[in-house]
Structure 1
Amino acid sequence: MLKRVFVAPDPGRARLRFAARAVLGIGLAVVVCGLAGHSLTGAVTGGLAALLALFTVADATVRGQAVTTVLLPVVGLPVLTAAALLHDVPVARDLTFLAVTGAGVYARRWGPRGHSLGVFAFMMFFVAQFLHASAAQLPELYAALTLSVLSAAAVRFGAWCYERRTPPAAVPAPPGGSGLARVTTRQAVQATAGAGFALVVGQLVSGQRWYWAVGATWWIFVNTTSRGETLVRGFRRVLGTVIGIGLGVVVAVPIAGTPVPTAVLVAVSVFGIFYTAAVSYTWMMLWVTLLAELLYGLLGVLTPGLLALRLAETGVGALGAALAVLFLLPVTTHAITDAWIQRALRCVHACTAEAAARLAGHPTADPARRVAELEQLLGRVRLAVAPLVHPLNPVLARKARARRVLDLLDTCAREIRGLVAVATDPEASHDARLAAACRRVEAAVEALTDGGATAEPLAAPVPAPRTAPEPSPAHGPLAHLHGLERALADLAHPLRAPAGSSLVDA
């Protein structure tokens, strides 16, 4: 697990910049709230709002990100108002919370913007429960939220807008459909039912901290699609919470809200959340748990008993999510996994085409953006395949095939990154072998994607010469293209397994 986090590819140091910018943006938001004279409750609300503004907004363009950021308060303030006004009306509060949960998941059908606004709306209701916000505090909370979103935007679009140089890839949208065939519709029903279970049982466990269970159910559904993905994510959430609680006993409890060390550890936790989110949900949950413990330390309520209660409520939330995806409109793993693999392969095709165009001298070709998109898609493939490669999966043959697919896709990504890195060499474009190799890669991808089941077996790639008679500027790109050809040829076997032994059938 350590190796996965610290050795995972980070093209263009995107994760590092993402995490560092988050620390700067959230820190600025908290400082602005302090200068505005807000209480600790206002500062915590502002810091969490800034965190969400920097974490969830994932539109493909800077303009799109700006529009979504402007809409965050438009969605968040009414939800925050409802949560505060209904705080002492349990039945209305609970029903409204469930409605916000279902609507937030359903909003994913509108892509990254719907996803961002849905998450922000849910978390505003959650934050109101976390801080026991009352109607009298609303003016301060309005101001804190608005100032913090503006502070985060100032960093994101002004001081540190690296997307203007290399636009990020949009978060891939889940597969479509209509009615109950649409994944987001099914998940909205599942999330609402799972949250209802978590709400009822969570209140039996604790009348004060029941919202932890609802929050656990919600976040288990975020960025998952199939039944298997959701179950694995629930397991990882519980595991990350357990490790985070253990770390909190050693780190957060002893300092008990002491301002300076708490501020330092909060910054470390924020960095950890943003840096590990793309590669390990367990590690992200470790940092989220530590951040929550530090905030409770600042509020003066952190005790070992509270940590045990958090673990219990997290278990309730994970159980609610598991029951919902198992028994209510389940979304099977097979179609979802196949769809993500197909999209990743088509992106390999697009990356190769962009790199070839760049090598041929086209100034507008931008393979770097395609690489970022490929990394996003491979993350979705890993998430989809996670149930198959999990240590508890007893079907060893299917597990081996799934691991083989992941390894070969990682090889494709590595060769693509190498190809893009040398694609700026203008002299390489004079070698005709590059164009031929790119055509072979395109043909191999086409054979593996749509219609691949009826296509002829992939031809073996033309082997790269062991010793080139004369080094040429094209030697580097050719080596990467040959490696890509071999990986694509090897993918044919695990992806075309007989129907009775398919990669996934659950």
Structure 2
Amino acid sequence: MFMAPDPGLARLRVSTRAVLGVGLAVAVTAVAGLPLPAVIAAGLAALLALFTVADPTVRRQAVTTAALPAVGLPVLALAAELHGRAGPRDAAFLAVVFCGVAARRWGARGNALGIFAFMMFFAAQFLHALPGELPVLTAAVLTGVLAAALVRFAVWPLERRDPPPAAPTPPGGRGLARPATRQAFQAVVACAFALAVGQAVSGERWYWAVGTAWWIFVNTASRGETLVRGFRRVLGTGCGIAAGLVVAVPLHGAPAPTAALVAVCVFGIFYTAPLSYSWMMVCVTLMAGLLYGLLGVLHPGLLTLRLEQTAVGAMGAALAVAVVLPVTTHAASDTWVRGALECVRQCAAASARRLAGDPAADPAPHVAELEVVLGRLRMSVAPLLHPLSPLRARRARARQIMVGLDDCARQVRGLAELAADPDASHDARLITACRRVETAVGRLMSTGPGAEQVAEPAAVTAHPAPHPSVDRALAHLHDLERSLATLAAPLRGHPRAPARV
């Protein structure tokens, strides 16, 4: 895990910046003499501001960060006002869940605002916030967001000048056909189950189950993704509780070592999040145990209760995605496969125009988008590729599709680099080969049993090459055709049929 490649030390820098931002928020509120719950609220607000805001440009990130208190503070006030009134509080919590998930239809900003709003309601339960404490908690949340903004935009700005392409979203229609709306209903059912069963297990810590059900739905789009996410959350929580028994309980809330370990946990959350959800949950669970130690309520039974509530939340999420407007893994992954093929087609078309002498045509953006789509596809097919998946035929089919598309991505990257070479332009063979690739992708994306089969790549005919890059570009195009041809069998076969080579 910690030896995984980190190009440009991006994860290291982001994680270190997060520790700096959260530490600044905690230090400012502590020096100001605010009570411990307010200090924790400031640290949580800073962590969320740094973790959830993921807009593609710095300007949009600044706008989203500024909007966090406008969304979160009214929710915090509502939760505090409803303290001790179980019925209205539960109804309001579920309403926040629905609105928070439905807001994902507005992309990265909606996702960040929805998460922040939910966590403000959650934090009110965690801290047992009362109406009289709202001024102090409001000041703490504002301090946390400001500290995160200061570190992110002034002290240590890490975002590149040329932002990466925004992650595409699957097409959706209106109403229940929209993915965010469909998932909002699933999340409400899951959280309602978690709330009811969680309160039966513990009338004081029931919100852990609701939090588990909520977070399992973040960045998932299908039934399989949600089930795998639930399994990984329970696994990570169990390991985190074991670590808490060894590390957090013996400390008995000692301030200095606890603060140091919380900083390590913050670093671990940001460093492991892109790689492993289970490892991230180990860090989150250990940090929660350390915070309960600071509050003076930590004991082994409390950690065991957290594992029970996590299992309840995961069960609620599993039941919801199974019975409420389910989206199969095949349906979700098929959308991303088509998106990847469309990127390949657009790259070939842009390359053909560039090679024909159009300087405005640029395949590079399509290559960057293809990388993002393939990353989302890997998340989508992860349930099929999981070692515990019993669906061997579908696992082999998914693996064959990923291998083919990864090879397409390699050839497309090489083609885009060579298309930028002015000496390789105006070669009829290259333009013809690009058109063949476009045709092959069109055949792959056609549907129905009578759809035309993808032709085998044409043989490379020897011609005197005026420039070495021409031969290299032809080789990339020929290999790209071959990769597209190998995708015909798994894409046209039945999802449950054995993969054919």
Indicate the TM-score class for this superposition, using the shorter chain for normalisation: 0.7 to 0.9
- Specify the alignment match of 1:401 in structure 2: 397
2:149 aligned to 148, 153, 157, which one? 153
Contact 2:348 2:435 in 1 (8 A): no
Residue-by-residue CA offset, 1:95-119 (whole Å, 9 max, x unaligned): 1111111111121222222221111
Shift of residue 450 of structure 1? Answer: 5.1
2:60 aligned to 55, 58, 64, which one? 64
SS of residue in 2 equivalent to 1:288: helix
Q: Is 1:379 the counterpart of 2:361 in the alignment?
A: no
The equivalences for 1:33-52 within 5 A come to 33-52=29-48
Residue-by-residue CA offset, 1:65-95 (whole Å, 9 max, x unaligned): 2222221111100000111121122221111
1:324 aligned to 298, 301, 320, which one? 320
Contact 1:278 1:379 in 2 (8 A): no
Q: Is 1:301 the counterpart of 2:297 in the alignment?
A: yes
Further displaced range: 355-364 or 282-291 = 355-364
Residue-by-residue CA offset, 1:430-477 (whole Å, 9 max, x unaligned): 5946656554544443333355976543344467899x9999456776
In structure 2, relative to structure 1, the CA distance for the partners of 1:131 and 1:372 (3 Å cut) is farther
Shift of residue 308 of structure 1? Answer: 0.9
Contact 1:356 1:423 in 2 (8 A): no
Query: Hey, what's the Cα distance between the residues in 1 that align with 2:13 and 2:132?
Result: 39
- Specify the alignment match of 2:243 in structure 1: 247
SS of residue in 2 equivalent to 1:163: coil
- Specify the alignment match of 1:124 in structure 2: 120
Contact 1:349 1:445 in 2 (8 A): yes
- Specify the alignment match of 1:281 in structure 2: 277
Query: Hey, what's the Cα distance between the residues in 2 that align with 1:254 and 1:409?
Result: 51
Shift of residue 238 of structure 1? Answer: 0.8
Residue-by-residue CA offset, 1:150-208 (whole Å, 9 max, x unaligned): 22222333344343413133243344122233332222222112111111111111122
Further displaced range: 494-503 or 66-75 = 494-503
Further displaced range: 427-436 or 329-338 = 427-436
- Specify the alignment match of 1:138 in structure 2: 134
Shift of residue 333 of structure 1? Answer: 2.9
Gaps of 5+ in 1: none
Query: Hey, what's the Cα distance between the residues in 1 that align with 2:261 and 2:444?
Result: 48
Query: Hey, what's the Cα distance between the residues in 2 that align with 1:251 and 1:418?
Result: 50
Query: Hey, what's the Cα distance between the residues in 2 that align with 1:226 and 1:249?
Result: 35
The equivalences for 1:62-461 within 5 A come to 62-350=58-346, 365=362, 367=364, 373-416=369-412, 426=421, 429=424, 432=427, 438-449=434-445, 456-461=452-457
Query: Hey, what's the Cα distance between the residues in 2 that align with 1:380 and 1:134?
Result: 42
Gaps of 5+ in 2: none
Further displaced range: 357-366 or 405-414 = 357-366
Query: Hey, what's the Cα distance between the residues in 2 that align with 1:363 and 1:257?
Result: 62
Contact 1:11 1:372 in 2 (8 A): no
Query: Hey, what's the Cα distance between the residues in 2 that align with 1:479 and 1:17?
Result: 39
Contact 1:22 1:271 in 2 (8 A): yes
Contact 1:276 1:284 in 2 (8 A): yes
RMSD: 3.4
Residue-by-residue CA offset, 1:289-342 (whole Å, 9 max, x unaligned): 222222223323332222111110000001111111222222233322211211
SS of residue in 1 equivalent to 2:247: helix
SS of residue in 2 equivalent to 1:165: coil
Shift of residue 279 of structure 1? Answer: 3.3
Query: Hey, what's the Cα distance between the residues in 1 that align with 2:257 and 2:461?
Result: 59
Contact 2:182 2:325 in 1 (8 A): yes
SS of residue in 1 equivalent to 2:54: coil
Query: Hey, what's the Cα distance between the residues in 2 that align with 1:25 and 1:476?
Result: 48
Query: Hey, what's the Cα distance between the residues in 2 that align with 1:100 and 1:351?
Result: 42
Further displaced range: 293-302 or 425-434 = 425-434
Contact 1:269 1:291 in 2 (8 A): yes
Contact 1:112 1:173 in 2 (8 A): no
In structure 2, relative to structure 1, the CA distance for the partners of 1:203 and 1:453 (3 Å cut) is same
Shift of residue 401 of structure 1? Answer: 0.7
In structure 2, relative to structure 1, the CA distance for the partners of 1:25 and 1:414 (3 Å cut) is farther
